[in-house]
Structure 1
């Protein structure tokens, strides 16, 4: 096995983690819609690099390229839905706490004790309403709730809780309150039991603006790998990083795992997809990706990886998600995961 290294007394300065062009298409799209007070959603597989995108959103300096002077007036409040306790009061508390942390310079007005609701859910909702009134109405700022990993909430509901998210905009916050929703699967499928597609005004806010969060472009993948390599004192040379980018298919999680494995253990000259697909960390990440797909997507993914015919409509959907090439025959986006699907997921072929 080889473990290439590169060092010199006059090594270049460490690479930036995010170049100005990092996720430029996504950030430009978010900026243009948010500036108009609109909401949107992204559907992306597990480990796709969403947290890096959210970090960029919360950097006013970076967002100035997309929002101009308005960047300082737009507050992206991130809500980690994996910490939701399956109650409306939990969601209102998460949202209020996130926005409060971003805007401590504007304290909420004191509330008369007699006006404090007795029920916990109403108290939590009042806290959120008060914060929105201060930020959006009194200070004339914009609030964007980044609803992260929202799959479980779409599935569990209840519908009344989801509808309250729309009602909050109607309480004097229209044009100044938006939602940026991230999920691994399509919201209307997740919320089918609530008739999300036809009977939910919250869904109506963003249903015309749902986009695929695709794997990194080749240049973004190379930048992230260069950043990781510099941080580790450059154990790998440029051509090794390019190979990792290709094997990972630009998937953020796989990219980091492959880099760590190669830099620590080396890599054979041949059969690299087979070699890495046999590693436990790689298999765990591939399983996370696979588990986050819809059932029809999982079946099609295995068939594509095996070079077999799959439902063309589902394949077309996977192409739009950036997970399958539009070539003939189609190929799975990551050679390493494709090998995993061929050898570890034969029972899902259907």
Structure 2
């Protein structure tokens, strides 16, 4: 069996796309399955030898439909191949359908949903329509990485979804950057400094650090300064796009990971960074009414949800960092995450989908 990942949005190392499909490749290899990926021709990062630049402009339906058709024609054994989509939009589904229309064989497509129907056009009704078209040419299997999403999507798609672990959360290095031991290093990860990731709360935090003394060092991407983050001796600006090694080194260096994600977007959607932080034993501070809060409550860690708009947020951060009971519960959560959100468990769940 061969899996083919379709990655129409892969352009750089920012985000989870590359790491996710490298983890997928490793999980499949454990079962003796081969893996390749189709990425845009404009992709500028180093790729595994089995990955090919076959996709065109992802915003143009005709161009990408033709690219899909030509790529599908090259597959030697379609009946023993699975097309795997994990980061896709509505236009990608219709492009894939038109690429399949003139194919002779029936295909298998696995689709991993990451976002709530509330974030989709027409609350998922157009996706449901796209799947009706795709079923004319393919057998569909639906996956998600969130129990909350599985419930929401099932009511819209009228389709059972299998919940899979998040496989790219395990640390691969213990290297760290130099740091001052008397400071609490608080990192807002990622180069995509957008509002849904809690930009306004990080700006608020930077303003307080500029006005008040606190044993806190805020670590943020350079591009956040142009979006309202205030520069001060308490703020450290790092590169927007980090190599995987540099990313993991900052995860290891940080004491606290700041994840004030918007509940409207992340009420049911997962955060790979949250999984990485827990697996690394780092204390994440999160927003109420998010998937992260849902997970934290399982381990009695309600304290991880803080008031991001409070004028006393600096004091809150100090107090939670010093809370021994929180660190004890975090250790329990770390052990569970390391055993569940891993390549082995991911491989097991994918294998179960074949039966």
**Smaller-chain TM-score range?**
0.3 to 0.5
Q: From the CA coordinates, give the structure whose radius of gyration is larger.
A: 1
> How does the TM-score come out when normalised to structure 1?
0.37
Relative to its length, the structure with more helix (as a share) is 1
Provide the TM-score with structure 2 as the length reference. Answer: 0.36
Write 1 or 2 for the structure with the bigger share of strand: 2
